[in-house]
Amino acid sequence: MSPRTTTIAKAVNEGLRRAMEDDPKVLVMGEDVGRLGGVFRVTDGLQKDFGEDRVIDTPLAESGIIGTAIGLALRGYRPVCEIQFDGFIYPAYDQIVSQLAKMGYRSGGKLSLPVVVRVPYGGGIGAVEHHSESPEAYFAHTAGLRVVTCSNPADAYFMTQQAIRSDDPVMVFEPKRRYWDKGELDPAAEPLPLHAARVARAGTDVTVAAYGPMVRTVLEAATAAEAEGRSLEVVDLRSLSPLDLDTLVASVERTRRLVVVHEAPTFLGLGAEIAARVTERCFYHLEAPVLRVGGFHLPYPASRLEEEYLPDLDRVLDAVDRALAF
Amino acid sequence: MTVPVVGGPGGRPPQPPLVQLLTPEGERVEHPDYSIDVTPDELRAFYRDLVLVRRVDAEATALQRQGELGLWASLLGQEAAQVGSARALAPQDYVFPTYREHGVAWCRDVDPVTLLGLYRGVNLGGWDPAEHNFHLYTIVIGSQTLHATGYAMGVQRDGAVGTGDPARDTAVIAYFGDGATSQGDVNEAFVFASVNNAPVVFFCQNNQWAISEPNERQTRVPLYQRAAGFGFPGLRVDGNDVLAVHAVTRAALDRARRGEGPTFVEAFTYRMGAHTTSDDPTRYRIEAEVEEWKLKDPIARVKALLARTGQAGEEFFAAVEAEADRLAEHVRSECLAMPDPEPVSMFDHAYRDPHPLVAEERAWFAEYHAGFEQSGVDESGLAAAAQAQR
Ligand SMILES: Cc1ncc(C[n+]2csc(CCOP(=O)(O)OP(=O)(O)O)c2C)c(N)n1
Ligand SMILES: [Mg+2]
Query: CA B323 to CA B59: how far, in whole Å?
Result: 14
Q: Supply the pLDDT for residue B376.
A: 66
Q: Whose CA is nearest to atom 21 of ligand 1?
A: B177
Q: At residue B317, does pLDDT exceed 80? A: yes
The pLDDT of residue B16? 79
pLDDT of residue A119: 98
Would you give the DSSP letter of residue A98? I
Alpha-carbon gap, residue A90 to A86, rounded angstroms:
8
Please check the confidence at residue B378 and state whether its pLDDT lies above 90: no
Query: Cβ contact (<8 Å) for B129 and A243?
Result: no
Q: Is residue A106 part of a domain?
A: yes
Class of the CATH domain delimited by B9-336: alpha beta
Residues A312, A240 share a domain: yes
Tell me the three state secondary structure of residue A326.
coil
Q: Is A149 on the interface with B (CB under 8 A)?
A: no
- Provide the pLDDT for residue B374: 77
- State whether A81 and A174 are in the same domain: yes
Main-chain phi, psi angles of B132, to 5 degrees: -115, 0
- Cβ contact B158–A111 (<8 Å): no
CA-closest residue to ligand 1 atom 7: B141
Say if residue B15's pLDDT is above 80.
no
The DSSP-derived string for A211-262 is -TTHHHHHHHHHHHHHHTT--EEEEE--EEETB-HHHHHHHHHHH--EEEEE
ipTM of the complex: 0.97
Q: Of the ranges A52-56, A65-69, B14-18, B182-186, which one carries the lowest mean pLDDT score?
A: B14-18
Is residue B214 pLDDT above 90, yes or no?
yes
A253 and A175 in one domain? no
- Closest-lying ligand 1 atom to the alpha carbon of residue B176: 15
Residue (of B155, B273, B220) closest to B6 by Cα position: B220
- Give mean pLDDT, residues B135-156: 98
Q: Is B359 on the interface with A (CB under 8 A)?
A: no
Which of left, alpha, beta for B20 (phi over 0: left; psi -120 to 50: alpha)?
Answer: beta
- How large is the average pLDDT for residues B225-254? 98
Question: What is the pLDDT, as a whole number, of residue B380?
Answer: 55
Domain containing residue A315: CATH number: 3.40.50.920
B358 and A91 within 8 Å at the Cβ level: the answer is no
Answer yes or no: is A242 within a domain.
yes
Burial A241-256 (b: 16+ CB within 10 A, else e): bbbbbebbbebbeebb
Amino acid identity for residue A248 in this structure: L
pLDDT at res. B46: 98
Query: Which DSSP helix (H) or strand (E) runs through B176?
Result: strand B172-177
> Does residue A293 lie in a domain region?
yes
In a domain, A190, yes or no: no
Calculate the average pLDDT of chain B: 94
Pick from B135, B184, B357: which is nearest to A242 by CB?
B357
DSSP string for A104-134: HHHTTTS-----EEEEEE---S---TTSS--
Closest-CA residue to B25 (of B239, B263, B296)? B296
Give the residue among B18, B103, B9 at the shortest CA–CA distance from B53: B103
Domain holding A318, by residue range, is 198-325
Domain co-membership, A297 together with A172: no
Cα angle: A272, vertex A274, A280; to 5 degrees:
105
The helix or strand, by DSSP H or E, that contains position B170, with its residue range, turns out to be none
Reference A167, options A250, A103, A252; nearest CA is A103
pLDDT interval class at B13 (50, 70, 90)? low
Distance (angstroms) between ligand 2 centre and the Cα of B26 equals 26
Assess A167–B contact: CB distance below 8 Å, yes or no: yes
Q: Report the half-sphere exposure of B383 (CA within 13 A, side-chain side).
A: 3
Cα dist. B297→A97, A320, B270, B318 in Å? Answer: 40, 76, 9, 19
Task: List pLDDT tens digits, range A300-326.
Answer: 999 999 999 999 999 999 999 999 999
CA distance B329 to B337: 12
Give, as one character, the DSSP assignment of residue B37: -
Whole-angstrom CA distances from B42 to B25, B239, B267 are 19, 18, 21
**A contacts of B146 (beta carbons < 8 Å):** 63-64, 66-68, 70-71, 95
**Contact by Cβ (8 Å): A212, A121:** yes
Atom of ligand 1 nearest to the CA of B206: 16
SS3 A2: coil
CB B97 within 8 A of CB B134: yes
Residue A64 and residue A179 in one domain: yes
CA distance B140 to A200: 43
Question: Is the distance from CB of B146 to CB of B188 less than 8 angstroms?
Answer: yes
Confidence of residue B6 (pLDDT cuts 50, 70, 90): very low
Chain B contact for A52 (CB, 8 A cutoff): no
Interface test with A, best of B192, B351, B353 (most A CBs within 10 A): B351
pLDDT of B260 over the 60 cut:
yes
* Confidence bin at B382 (pLDDT 50/70/90): low
Average pLDDT over residues B14-26: 90
Q: A168–B149: do the CB atoms touch at under 8 Å?
A: no
H or E element that contains B151: helix B143-157
A153 in a structural domain: yes
CA–centroid distance, A198 to ligand 2, in Å, is 53
- Helices B79-86 and B40-65: crossing angle in degrees, nearest 10, is 130
Say whether A106 and B124 touch across the interface (CB within 8 A).
yes
Is A193 a domain residue? no
Instruction: Write down the catalytic residue from B284, B308, B326, B351.
Output: B284
Task: Single out the residue of A217, A290, A225, A308 nearest to residue A251, CA to CA.
Answer: A290
Ligand 2 centroid – CA B183 distance (Å): 13
What pLDDT does residue B379 have?
Answer: 55
Q: What pLDDT is attached to residue B377?
A: 60
Q: Residue A150's domain is classified under what CATH number? A: 3.40.50.970
What are the chain B neighbours of A273 within 8 Å (beta carbons)?
none
**Percent of chain B whose predicted confidence (pLDDT) is above 70:** 92
**The pLDDT of residue B388 is above 90:** no
Whether residues A89 and A219 share a domain: the answer is no
User: What pLDDT is attached to residue B85?
Assistant: 98
Mean pLDDT of chain A: 98
pLDDT tens digit string along A27-47? 999 999 999 999 999 999 999
As a whole number of angstroms, the distance between CA A151 and CA A131 comes to 19
pTM, 2 dp: 0.96
Q: Is residue A223 part of a domain?
A: yes
Tell me the average pLDDT across B30-58: 97
> How many domains is chain A built from?
2
Are both A15 and A123 inside the same structural domain? yes
Which runs of consecutive H residues, i.e. helices, occur in chain A?
A: 8-22, 46-50, 62-74, 93-94, 103-106, 136-140, 153-165, 214-227, 245-255, 270-282, 306-309, 313-325
- Determine the average pLDDT of the residues in A109-114: 97
How confident is the model at residue A204, as a pLDDT? 98
Q: State the Cα–Cα distance between residues B198 and B148, nearest whole angstrom.
A: 10
- Domain extents in chain B: 9-336, 343-389
Same-domain pairing of A176 and A216: no
Looking at the structure, do residues A73 and A167 belong to the same domain, yes or no?
yes
A83 and A209 share one domain: no
Q: Please give the pLDDT value at position A238.
A: 98
A1 Cβ contact partners less than 8 Å away, ≥ 6 residues apart: A187, A188
A90 DSSP assignment: G
Given this model, what pLDDT does residue B372 score?
Answer: 86
Check: CB of residue B258 under 8 Å from CB of residue B264. Answer: no
**pLDDT band at B183, cuts 50/70/90?**
very high
Which atom of ligand 1 lies nearest, measured to the CA of B183?
1
Question: Which DSSP string do the residues of B209-256 spell out, in sequence order?
Answer: EETTEEGGGT-SS-GGGHHHHHTS-EEEEETT-HHHHHHHHHHHHHHH
Model confidence pLDDT, tens digit, residues A229-275: 999 999 999 999 999 999 999 999 999 999 999 999 999 999 999 99
Same domain membership, residue A94 and residue A44: yes
Q: What tens digit of pLDDT does each residue of A205-231 get?
A: 999 999 999 999 999 999 999 999 999
pLDDT of residue A182: 97
The pLDDT of residue B10:
47
How many C-beta atoms surround the C-beta of residue A88 within 10 A?
16
Banded model confidence at residue A2, pLDDT cuts 50, 70, 90: confident
Q: Measuring CA to CA, which residue among A229, A222, A228 is closest to residue A208?
A: A222
* Contact with chain B for residue A193, Cβ under 8 A: no
| A residues 99..128 contacting B (CB < 8 A) | 99, 103-112
B176 Cα to the center of ligand 1, angstroms: 9
How far is the C-alpha of A305 from the C-alpha of B116, rounded, in Å? 56
Contacts of residue A5, defined as CB under 8 A and 6 or more positions apart, other chains included, come to A182, A183, A184, A185
pLDDT above 80: residue B385: no
Question: Which one, of B246, B283, B290, lies nearest residue B265 by Cα?
Answer: B246
